[in-house]
Amino acid sequence: MNDSTTAPKLADRRIPPGDDFLSAEALAQLTPERLIERTRALKPLLAEYAREAERLRRPVDAVWAAIRESGYFYLMVPKRFGGLELTADQYIDATLPLAEGCASTGWVASFCAQHNWLLAQFPEETQAEIWGGHPYIVAPSVAAPPGKAEPVEGGYRLTGHWKWGTGIMHADWVMVNAFVPGEDGPVMHMFILPASEATVIDTWHVDGMIGTGSNDILLSDLFVPGHRAFAVGPARSGRGHAARLHDNPLFASPMLPSLAVTAAIPALGAARSAVEQTKERLAGHVKMGSEGTQAEKPAAQMRLARADMLVRSAELAIRDAARRNVGLGAIDEPEQTQARIQLRGQIAFAVGQCREAIQTLCESSGSSVHSLDNPLQRALRDVQVMASHVVYDLDVATELHGRALVGLAPNSTLT
């Protein structure tokens, strides 16, 4: 371990050169259906390199390049700037194959795609400046712990040390949350800056989601122009800059349910993959001391069926939440807050179902499931870490929902 006099180890980042965006002709031919076909075709590649992503503690460069080449990161860029503006279901359909192949890489890709939706929440000048030179961005969005932003002439001086930097290892931009002093107290703002201006510390040593490379991000007294910031409050209810600048109700959807869906898709992908892997495994698995394969055993059949039903139910809930959130921006308070709370609980419950499904399958798979060559053990570790995300804390989510049901105000800012 480094002592206080030793500089922290820096992460081995892969800032993209910016020369591999799709040509105008290729982008014009990219339809939602074609994109979904491409990501489905990438699933075997991600599965092949899933263990290597764990070894490297970040997405594998060749896999990441293939995802970029597919056009995946255009899916939430507004059409005004050359993007696809995929529907909620199309976003899920395009992302699930990546998560089924490698939950860690799928997690990073899902967030980085969705963070183009976050860029649409910035002022119009910022969107034109960045998307004018970058058809899409790859950027983490980090909120905890919040940094500090001091207003100065022309912008802010920004300082902070943020954790959970998903996407930072292949990022060209970085989004961070920080408090700006206000008359009634500090106001949370989101800032965007080039990734080259951030220091990334090699801190990602975890027991699941190892391949995400979600290292810490450090900024010290960095100047950020004023137009590269916005107050987060209005966007939380779908009333930020994007609602005014883009006609698609996708960009007027509340922020937290959108992010919750983004993080739930990899859990669903991992669980779907676990069901398929178990189906294949049962056909040839004979437990010591027994006769016949596990596929012939009622207990194994029942566990597989239960896991399958859990996953199918979770998918229905996640898709329903994603669709309903798109229309919430048009709903007034207090009804909108109540609806956001209900969606958060629904998504958290679905992620819990994905975790239960994988646990059910692993419990019946014998000791060999714990071999590092067996993808089921990775799925179990990954989903445990995913489910620990603050938005999936079932105790908090169900308490909030219960309070709303009996007419009490929320007791958390994460609504």
pLDDT single digits (tens) 267-294: 999 999 999 999 887 665 556 446 556 6
Question: Mean pLDDT across the stretch 311-335?
Answer: 95
In order of their start, the domains of the chain are 24-133 (1.10.540.10), 141-231 (2.40.110.10), 253-405 (1.20.140.10)
pLDDT tens digits along 222-249? 999 999 999 999 999 999 999 999 999 9
Q: Which residue has the higher pLDDT, 5 or 249?
A: 249
Q: pLDDT category, 327, cuts 50, 70, 90?
A: confident
Question: Mean pLDDT across the stretch 49-55?
Answer: 97
Gap between the Cα atoms of 194 and 406, Å rounded: 46
Is the predicted pLDDT of residue 56 greater than 60, yes or no?
Answer: yes
Average pLDDT, the chain: 93
pTM above 0.85, yes or no: yes
What integer pLDDT is reported at residue 45 of this predicted model?
A: 98
pLDDT tens digits along 174-225? 999 999 999 889 999 999 999 999 999 999 999 999 999 999 999 999 999 9
Residue with tokens 């997405």: 59
